[in-house]
Chains A and B, each alone.
Chain A
Amino acid sequence: MTGPTVEQVITRVHHEEWARVVASLARRFGDLGVAEDATAEAFLAAAERWPREGVPPNPGGWLATTATRKAIDRLRRESQHDAKHQAARIVYDDTPHEPTGPVEDDRLRLVFTCCHPALALEARVALTLRLLGGLTVPEIARAFLVQETTMARRITRAKAKIKAAHIPYRVPWANDIRERLTGVLAVVYLVFNEGYLASEGDDPVRVDLTDEAIRLGRLLRTLLPDDGEVAGLLALMLLTDARRSARVSGTGELVTLDQQDRSAWNRALIAEGSALIRERIKAFAAGGDPPGRYQLQAAINAVHTDAPSARDTDWSTIVALYGRMVLLDPSPIVWLNRSVAVAEVDGPGAGLAEVDRLAEVLDGYHAFHAARADLLRRLGRGGESRAAYDRAIALAGNPAERAYLTRRRDQLAG
């Protein structure tokens, strides 16, 4: 047996240490740009030196030390250009940790800074992937199908705003943390969804983004182990991702849940996700907070992954879980999902009656027309079904979804 190659070690250490090094440098030097650049330089140095000199016994420590040295070198160099200004930064006070919350991890501060509500959502996503995920600017640009220069500008502008507006590098105050954390989870889930059901481009699934989102979800879980929604989001992503390989056919077509080959589902991810759900059910039973939207969505997914076959799905539990979701988030999309579940319990006629009530608000949403098309088909109303498929196909951005909808439409009799 041979051990991992140096390259594999560097990849692993990059995953494990990048955010930690950036976060500790950000605290020490009070500047995200310096922290990011110095960390990147340290990893570059590792890639050059480790293959020659061997991997140091404590790779994380080596990287932190190297990055700190690079940051100081850089600040010194800059200080020669602009002595007065830089002198202030070089002695930047290494502020002792204030009592900031339950966990004193620099990475948690970094999460809240990158996902600050004063930044545009797309900037939060980009910063989170760069500073916490360690993705390069070209990688992020590729993932979101924007020009590299556009993405670089977006990140630079966000960092400049953080600095100029004094966006704090801190875990929010107790009375704000719930709302701020909701914003953080939204960023991670957006990354996941963009990977899982890409709204643009030719790849139906962008694995790099789903993997990255799960990695961020695991990091948040490490940092906030007692938070129900953090656990819920991670469970939701794991249970969804577990079905990834069964979700798109060999010919690049979306395969709906009832048609998927369940033996292709990733059992390890399902076990991990289910364990998180069980933990949350226990916490709730012991008097904890009622489940939020991610926990409910994860629980709905767990009902699917628990069913040995599509026929065995416990749809009435799913309807009940959507009923709770609607109370938290009465958005038309949640109602739409509930209606689809209602159709499984009470028949397509009942489902269609509920779906049709959403016609006005969801007219521009492909999934609304896809759901209607399916229900109309099951009710034998072929002409109306075809028209609904046409609308859904015209609105769907994902190629696998379009292929699936087109085939279903063309299968309609007459």
Chain B
Amino acid sequence: MPRYLLSVYGPAEQEAELRAFADTDAFTERLQGDGRLVFADGLEPATTATTVDGQGGRPAYTDGPYLETTEHLDAFWVIEAADLDVALALAVEGSKACRRAVEVRPCRTERAPSERC
């Protein structure tokens, strides 16, 4: 079954909205109940991120997220859906629940191992 990453972006500092939290949890629970949820979580603010580059001789650590943008990944779901229409329909509900736009991106799970990255 194809997998999709549904991601939610938001400004670095954001007021938590209790209604949105409750609705988002309810949505996540429903995904789980329907057997569609692979994994989901919310993230601590982007200011808590550490970026690591291990390509050189000695690893380099940077305090902060990889991309310097005004909005950062805030939360995500990984779901299983038969096709994009199913995934988009679920993303619409997720977007309503968390009161944000949701990016839907296919995972490479279904590709041959050699093609995955």
Contacts and interface: CB of A to CB of B under 8 A. Distances in A.
Nearest to A112: B85
B112 A166 contact: no
Interface residues of B, number: 12
Contact of B112 (A84, A168, A170): A84
Contacts of B65: none
Contact of A167 (B83, B105, B114, B115): B83
Interface in B74-117: 82-85, 88, 104-106, 112, 114-115
11 contacts: A85-B112, A165-B84, A165-B105, A165-B106, A166-B2, A166-B84, A166-B106, A168-B82, A168-B84, A170-B85, A176-B85
Interface of A: 82, 84-85, 88, 116, 118, 164-168, 170, 172-173, 176
B83 A166 contact: yes
A82 B113 CA distance: 12
Contacts of A168: 82-85
Given A165-B105, A168-B83, A170-B83, 18 more contacts: A82-B112, A84-B112, A85-B114, A85-B115, A118-B84, A118-B88, A164-B106, A165-B84, A165-B106, A166-B82, A166-B106, A167-B83, A167-B85, A168-B82, A168-B84, A170-B85, A173-B85, A176-B85
Contacts of B105: 165
Contacts of A88: 112
A170 B82 CA distance: 12
A301 to B, nearest CB: 35
A168 B89 CA distance: 13
A326 B80 CA distance: 42
B85 A172 contact: yes
B37 to A, nearest CB: 18
In this complex, the member of B85, B105, B112, B114 whose beta carbon has the largest number of chain A beta carbons within 10 angstroms is B85
Contacts of A82: 112
A176 B84 CA distance: 14
A285 to B, nearest CB: 36
Ranked 7 nearest A-B pairs via Cβ: A168-B83, A85-B112, A166-B83, A165-B106, A166-B2, A167-B84, A165-B84
A394 B101 CA distance: 38
Contacts of B84: 116, 118, 165-168
B15 to A, nearest CB: 31
Contacts of B112: 82, 84-85, 88
A176 B114 CA distance: 37
B21 to A, nearest CB: 28
Nearest to A164: B106
A170 B83 CA distance: 10
Interface string B1-43: 0100000000000000000000000000000000000000000
A109 B92 CA distance: 23
In this complex, the member of B2, B106, B114 whose beta carbon has the largest number of chain A beta carbons within 10 angstroms is B106
